[in-house]
């Protein structure tokens, strides 16, 4: 099976999303600059900077509220039943992270998902971070994989 085509289209989509975000940021900064240039002769540079900064904060607040509203989704009358796969995953994570952390992750899934997304972007964007994480987590992951294999195979040397 040739994975080159799906992977290249996935990375192209990722690059397009980043390019769109960069273009949006550049447009927002151009609007802020135009606002500052329009206000500076009338109210002075300090007040123009204050108004422009407040305007950018309002835009950031509106974007954050929009993302929060989209992440929250429609209100559900009652929470759906936990699928068996999630229950097994929770049972396997309980000894590693403990009940309080598991409860917190269950209650704050949006924060966990956004944190995982941010970590993924950081790891994908920085070769140094990838190298550091590989070197730091390599022995622990190898040990966990060997323990899981031994538990699965019933081979306890």
DSSP codes joined into one string, 17-81: HHHHHHHHHHHHHHHHHHHHHHHHHHH-HHHHHHHHHHHHHHHHHHHHHHHHHHHH-S--SSPPP
Average pLDDT over residues 58-72: 86
Q: At what angle do helices 45-72 and 109-125 cross, to 10 degrees?
A: 120
* CA pair distance 5, 144, nearest whole angstrom: 33
Average pLDDT over residues 113-133: 83
Q: What percentage of the chain has pLDDT greater than the value 90?
A: 15
Cβ contacts of 35 within 8 Å, gap of 6 or more:
48, 51, 52, 55
> Binning pLDDT at 50, 70 and 90, where does residue 44 land?
very high
Q: Is the pTM of this model over 0.85?
A: no
* CA pair distance 84, 80, nearest whole angstrom: 12
* CA pair distance 104, 106, nearest whole angstrom: 5
Taking only Cα atoms into account, the Rg of the chain, rounded to an integer number of angstroms, comes to 24
- For the segment 70-112, what is each residue's pLDDT rounded down to a tens digit? 887 666 666 666 556 666 667 777 777 777 877 887 788 888 8
Q: What is the pLDDT of residue 85?
A: 62
3-state helix, strand, coil in the chain (%, to 5): 85, 0, 15
Residue predicted with more confidence, 58 or 137: 58
């Amino acid at each position: 099976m040739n994975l080159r085509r799906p992977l290249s289209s996935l990375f192209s989509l990722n690059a397009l999303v980043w390019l769109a975000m960069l273009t949006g940021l550049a447009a927002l900064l151009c609007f802020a600059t135009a606002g500052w240039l329009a206000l500076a002769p009338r109210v002075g540079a300090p007040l123009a900077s204050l108004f422009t900064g407040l305007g950018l904060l309002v835009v950031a607040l509106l974007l954050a509220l929009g993302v929060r509203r989209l992440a929250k989704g429609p209100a559900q009358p009652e929470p759906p039943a936990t699928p068996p796969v999630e229950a097994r995953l929770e049972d396997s994570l309980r000894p590693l992270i403990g009940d309080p952390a598991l409860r917190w992750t269950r209650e704050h899934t949006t924060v966990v998902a956004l944190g995982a997304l941010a970590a993924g972007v950081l790891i994908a964007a920085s070769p140094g971070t990838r190298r550091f994480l590989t070197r730091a987590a390599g022995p622990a992951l190898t040990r966990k994989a060997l323990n899981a294999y031994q538990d699965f195979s019933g081979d306890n040397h």
